């Protein structure tokens, strides 16, 4: 029996997919390789496949963790009529290389847009894990863990802080509390931790809840964008508006 060595992670950004891959490499004491698409994808016919072959030939030389972030950039659905024949050949070659990897090479792929992946990609990964956005209880538990590491703990309860922050990712939560901690440290004793937290919460509220509301402004922006697109097509004389794509919010 060979160990399972291919894992697919999906979910909105900022909720731990990259941290999970790094933690696997650290726990197993293996080198961690992150694929750079700017160095992998070429503009000439067959260039990307050549670079992919070199990548996998090197990876096979040692036990390691190979991480594909934003995997939908290379594992796209081959049935998409908007894609070129080159990307279809790349996906087919990538799937063949994944099948031939030895079990001592752990491949972890992460995507924010699982719906864009080729259906055959899903079968290549023995484990498929979802990383959903945290609910309020999960966020409060994460805040409690962050505050436990501080020498001074604010009086405001983690559940109340989570309520005031609203539905955000773990990464945004961490950034917020690092900002609070910086303000407290740079206050040089003149700013208490409660004052620092209050200042940042007030700033946060003004940032995430502008007048008119984010959803209303987003809807207006989408409507305006659609109207502009149709007007451009009409000006070209085609009369055909571009296909609408699903709106993904980070």
User: How long a stretch of residues is the chain?
Assistant: 250
Domain assignment present for residue 239? The answer is: no
For residues 205 and 80, which has the higher predicted lDDT (pLDDT)? 205
Domain assignment present for residue 39? The answer is: yes
Total domains in the chain come to 2
CA distance 162 to 158: 6
Indicate whether 160 pLDDT > 90. Answer: yes
Please give the pLDDT value at position 208: 53
Please give the pLDDT value at position 240: 39
**Share above pLDDT 90 across residues of the chain, in percent, rounded to a whole number:** 58
Please give the pLDDT value at position 84: 61
Domain assignment present for residue 174? The answer is: yes
Determine the structural domain holding residue 165 and report its residue range. 136-208
Residue where a domain terminates, one of 90, 106, 130: 130
Question: In terms of C-beta density within 10 A (0-12 exposed, 13-18 middle, 19 or more buried), how is residue 42 classed?
Answer: middle
State whether 50 and 118 are in the same domain: yes
Report the 3 state secondary structure along 166-217.
Answer: CCCCHHHHHHHHHHHHHHHHHCCCCCCHHHHHHHHHHHHHHHHCCCCCHHHH
Mean pLDDT of the chain: 83
State whether 120 and 198 are in the same domain: no
State whether 25 and 98 are in the same domain: yes
Please give the pLDDT value at position 82: 59
Average pLDDT of span 13-32: 95
| DSSP per-residue codes, 90-123 | HHHHHHHHHHT--TTEEEEEEES-GGGB-HHHHH
For 41-66, write each residue's pLDDT tens digit: 877 777 888 999 999 999 999 999 99
State whether 174 and 197 are in the same domain: yes
CB–CB of 236/228 below 8 Å? no
**At 107, which CATH number?**
3.40.50.300
| DSSP per-residue codes, 81-95 | TTS-HHHHHHHHHHH
For 170-226, write each residue's pLDDT tens digit: 999 999 999 999 999 999 989 999 999 999 999 998 875 444 444 444 444 444 445
Closest CA to 94 of 111, 64, 112, 117: 117
For 83-139, write each residue's pLDDT tens digit: 566 778 888 889 999 999 999 999 999 999 988 888 888 889 999 999 999 999 999
State whether 60 and 92 are in the same domain: yes
State whether 75 and 186 are in the same domain: no
Report the 3 state secondary structure along 211-249.
Answer: CCCHHHHHHHHHHHHHHHHHHHHHHHCCCCCCCCCCCCC
What pTM did the predictor assign?
Answer: 0.74
State whether 17 and 34 are in the same domain: yes
- Banded pLDDT at 75 (limits 50, 70, 90): confident
Alpha carbon 235 to chain centroid, angstroms: 37
State whether 173 and 75 are in the same domain: no
Residue where a domain terminates, one of 83, 107, 130: 130
For residues 80 and 203, which has the higher predicted lDDT (pLDDT)? 203
State whether 115 and 93 are in the same domain: yes
State whether 17 and 88 are in the same domain: yes
State whether 124 and 183 are in the same domain: no
The number of beta carbons lying within 10 Å of the beta carbon of residue 69 is 18
* Residue 30 DSSP label: -
């Amino acid at each position: 029996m060979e160990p399972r060595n291919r894992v697919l992670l999906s979910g909105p950004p900022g909720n731990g997919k990259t941290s999970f891959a790094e933690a696997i490499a650290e726990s197993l004491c293996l080198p961690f390789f992150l694929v750079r698409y700017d160095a992998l994808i070429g503009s000439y016919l067959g260039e990307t496949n050549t670079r992919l072959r070199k990548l996998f030939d090197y990876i096979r030389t040692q036990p390691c963790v190979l991480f594909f972030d934003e995997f939908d950039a290379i594992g796209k659905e081959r049935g998409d009529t908007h894609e070129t024949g080159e990307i279809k050949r790349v996906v087919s070659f990538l799937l063949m290389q994944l099948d031939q990897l030895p079990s001592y090479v752990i491949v972890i792929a992460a995507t924010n847009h699982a719906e864009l992946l080729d259906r055959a990609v899903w079968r290549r990964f023995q484990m498929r894990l979802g990383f959903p956005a945290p609910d309020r209880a999960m966020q409060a538990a994460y805040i409690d863990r962050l505050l436990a590491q501080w020498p001074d703990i604010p009086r405001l309860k983690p559940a109340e802080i989570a309520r005031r922050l609203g539905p955000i990712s773990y990464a945004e939560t961490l950034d917020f509390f690092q900002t609070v901690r910086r303000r407290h440290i740079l206050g040089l004793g003149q700013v208490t931790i409660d004052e620092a937290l209050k200042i940042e919460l007030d700033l946060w509220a003004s940032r995430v809840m502008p007048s008119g509301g984010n959803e209303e402004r987003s809807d207006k922006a989408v409507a305006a964008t659609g109207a502009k697109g149709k007007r451009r097509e009409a000006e070209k004389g085609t009369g055909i508006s571009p296909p609408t794509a699903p709106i993904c919010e980070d």
